[in-house]
Amino acid sequence: MLESPITIDINGADLIDDQGAAMARSSPDTPTLPAGKVAQLSLALKGAAMIMRGLDRMAPRLSTEMMLRYFVRPRRRRGDYRAQLPVGARRLGIAYRGQTLTGWSWGDEGPSVLLVHGWEDHCGAMTGLVQPLLQRGFRVVTLDAPGHGLSPAMDTHLIDTGEALAALMGRLGRFEAIIAHSYGAAATSLLLARQRHWAPDHLTLISPMQDIRQHLAIFAGIAGLSPAAWNRLQHRTQDELGQTLDGISVLSAASDLKSPGLVIHDRQDPLIPYAGSARLVERWRSAQLVSTEGLGHRRTLRCSQLAGRIASHIDQQLRISSGFTSSLSGGQGHA
């Protein structure tokens, strides 16, 4: 870890040293179901959840298959985010699994930065980071993951989304920096641990999901599954993916993350517990933990103060690592 964790006061105070943050511990390795409501279901999905729970008592194997199909098929957010895109956006088409994923790019020169959104989100969620990066001379790229945003409807999961990012990099080249949120942070970390040649010079993870079990737990909480149904879903997911769920973990991948970076997490995040990030930086030794207060899970992406700090930190670190002295120059990426 680079130095002591720090806390950002979103009301504009200076950074505050927070020695105790790294001593926090996450929930048990086998997570419990999330307490309370973590998402609102449409009437159709509420009906489907009721059917799954009813089937679970009479035909548990069939209900588990239904659960798996819903787990890997993200719900789409309503509305078209294109009106939110910063000026100068250029649309990208990335071939993946016989489909074309939608991405966007800004800028023509300078080191390239990839923005990766979270589960059931889209490129529009990451646009608050675009202008601060452009102002510092970066090129910026973002991608709608399979089944998300303007990309085609597709089943996906943490490993698959990582492979979609690899397809993007295969087309555009390695990125000098990556900023990823939540599920996207987990998918990115797992990819970089498997395919180290894509490792950026700087990696920022915001509210990172801990592992696929945590994702399954969130899904189980939304669907109102019993612990027994959730347990069956975990086993079925493991069979489907052909690997143990324990290995699909950011904590397991952390020792393979060699890029310096930031882990940013809000102490009051209601969806992904903050303590998981404190554990992560203990294993990812070249990362620094940055705590926020009062931003929750998604508002971290809309905080202009935080966006500016992230962009400045990447700027400074790339100058140090690459010996930049005046303005940032182009790197190996081709965004």
- pLDDT at 39 (0 to 100): 56
Which DSSP helix (H) or strand (E) runs through 213? helix 212-223
CATH topology of domain 6-20+96-214+257-322: Rossmann fold (3.40.50)
Closest by CA position to 159, among listed 118, 187, 196? 187
Indicate the length of the chain as a whole number.
335
C-beta atoms surrounding 87 within 10 Å: 8
Beta strand residue intervals within 74-233, DSSP E? 90-96, 99-106, 112-116, 139-143, 177-181, 202-206
pLDDT 10s per residue in the chain (335 long)? 333 444 554 433 333 334 333 333 333 344 444 544 455 656 666 666 777 777 777 788 888 998 899 999 998 877 789 999 999 999 999 999 999 999 999 999 999 999 999 999 999 999 999 999 999 999 999 999 999 999 999 999 999 999 999 999 999 999 999 999 999 999 999 999 999 999 999 999 999 999 999 999 998 888 888 888 889 999 999 999 999 999 999 999 998 998 999 999 999 999 999 999 999 999 999 999 999 999 999 999 999 999 999 999 999 999 887 764 434 444 444 43
Q: Which residue has the tokens 């493991």?
A: 238
d(CA 21, CA 287): 14
C-beta atoms surrounding 178 within 10 Å: 31
- pLDDT at 8 (0 to 100): 57
d(CA 273, CA 185): 14
**What is the bridge-based pairing of β-strands 177-181 and 202-206?**
parallel
- pLDDT at 53 (0 to 100): 73
d(CA 226, CA 7): 37
Q: Using an 8 Å Cβ cutoff, are 92 and 141 in contact?
A: yes
- pLDDT at 199 (0 to 100): 96
- CA 64 from centre of chain: 26
* Cross-strand bridge partners of residue 291: 7, 265
**What's the angle, vertex CA 253, arms to CA 125 and CA 114, rounded to 5?**
30
- The whole-model pTM stands at 0.86
